[in-house]
Copies of this chain bind each other. A is one copy, B any other.
Amino acid sequence: MRELRVELEERSYPIYIGEGLLNETGAMFEKHGITAKSPVLIISDENTAGLYLRRVEDALKQKGYRTASYSVPAGEQSKTLALLQDAVTVALEAGLDRSSTVIALGGGVVGDLAGFVAATYMRGIRFVQIPTTILAHDSSVGGKVAVNHPLAKNIIGAFHQPDFVLYDIDTLKTLPIREVRAGLSEVIKHGLIWNEDFAYWCEANASKLLALDSEALIYALYEGCKVKSIVVSQDERENDLRAILNLGHTIGHALEAVAGYGELLHGEAIAIGMIGAARISVKMGQPQDVLTVTERIFNAFGLRTAIPAHLDTDSIMSAMMHDKKFKEGTMVFILPKAIGKVEIHKDVPISLVKETVDFLKQEG
């Protein structure tokens, strides 16, 4: 087991990454001084509940904790205020009090919903994350929690840091390969924005990671979480630096929106977005290598580097404009200046972005 500490002053917390950790849930609660007098609410989705809920409940019960559980349908459509209210009904009926804890057992959707329940129930109670996807390594660092509004994603939320994160890589072994690949895209991103050595390590270890080799996976999740944690420690409330975590996301979000959520997984969309950012960067004067190496890394993982040809360029551009990162003919972009280094550019010509989108479609 490896342990990484996210440094946020009095809100600092550890991330434990290893095998067989679900069975240690109760022991970890004790280690963190969580009282067994107050009940624990486990929030999961219907997939993760079926696979892991019983094991987490048993591990808690062995140490004398009482539990209640609430599970939502899998998928983004479960991040609503209506389901938040339902979760609070369960919490009240189970007698959760101010010393209680909410556990998020699942991927990013469950983490966002459960985290917002923990942030707001009785104005904030303890929160523990048990991520069950690779992508969730990203959302398990930084404390951003939220639900969606019919008009906008993640618009109602809070910053609420967990007490600890328990990352049992055994849970990743039930993931479909497409989700593994897409999740690794966000791990690679952390290399590309901050850690050149780690980016090259990912390329060299692509096949091990895709085969879910335990040692490689623990190392990769540790390094990925570490980059995010360094960035978040310096800018918890997203005032400036934290924006670099959005490498690939401007084009990526637009592709997700135009393709309809589902055709492209988030990790797949941002992989293409990172290729786009590298191409723009080269056009604006950075060495050709930035693009060549970025492409090589994503190719090693079998992640597509081109935009599906049937997506309409104008729709993609207009989805990007909607993202509000533009001003008078230019847009804000996070651009690589080398492998492992990025910069925030406020003056990327919209014409260059459009040209890049068109080019990436021809590749598709």
Enumerate chain A interface residues (CB-CB to B < 8 A): 81-82, 84-85, 88-89, 92-93, 97, 119-124, 144, 146, 149-152, 155-159, 237, 324
Contacts and interface: CB of A to CB of B under 8 A. Distances in A.
Contacts of A146: 123
A128 to B, nearest CB: 19
Contact of A149 (B89, B123, B155, B324): B89
A85 to B, nearest CB: 5
Given A81-B81, A81-B85, A84-B81, A92 B149 contact: yes
Contact of A152 (B92, B123, B157): B92
A156 B124 contact: no
Q: How many copies of this chain? A: 2
The CB with the most chain B CB atoms within 10 A, among A120, A122, A124, A152, is that of A120
The CB with the most chain B CB atoms within 10 A, among A81, A82, A124, is that of A81
A278 to B, nearest CB: 28
Closest 4 CB pairs of A and B: A81-B81, A123-B157, A120-B156, A92-B151
B89 A151 contact: yes
Nearest to A117: B156
A144 B123 contact: yes
26 contacts: A81-B81, A81-B84, A81-B85, A85-B149, A85-B156, A88-B155, A89-B151, A92-B151, A92-B152, A92-B155, A93-B151, A119-B158, A120-B120, A120-B156, A120-B157, A120-B158, A121-B155, A122-B155, A122-B157, A123-B144, A123-B146, A123-B159, A124-B158, A124-B159, A124-B237, A158-B158
A89 B89 CA distance: 25
A163 to B, nearest CB: 15
B123 A88 contact: no
A148 to B, nearest CB: 10
A302 to B, nearest CB: 35
A281 to B, nearest CB: 26
A237 B10 CA distance: 14
Given A81-B85, A84-B81, A85-B81, A156 B92 contact: no
Contacts of A152: 92
Given A151-B92, A152-B92, A123 B81 contact: no
Nearest to A92: B151
A358 to B, nearest CB: 30
A93 B151 CA distance: 9
A122 B155 CA distance: 5
Contacts of A92: 149, 151-152, 155
A342 B9 CA distance: 34
A114 to B, nearest CB: 14
Given A88-B149, A119-B158, 16 more contacts: A81-B84, A88-B155, A88-B156, A89-B151, A92-B151, A92-B155, A93-B151, A97-B324, A120-B120, A120-B156, A120-B157, A120-B158, A122-B157, A123-B144, A123-B146, A123-B159
Contacts of A144: 123
A159 B119 CA distance: 10
Contacts of A156: 84-85, 88, 120-121
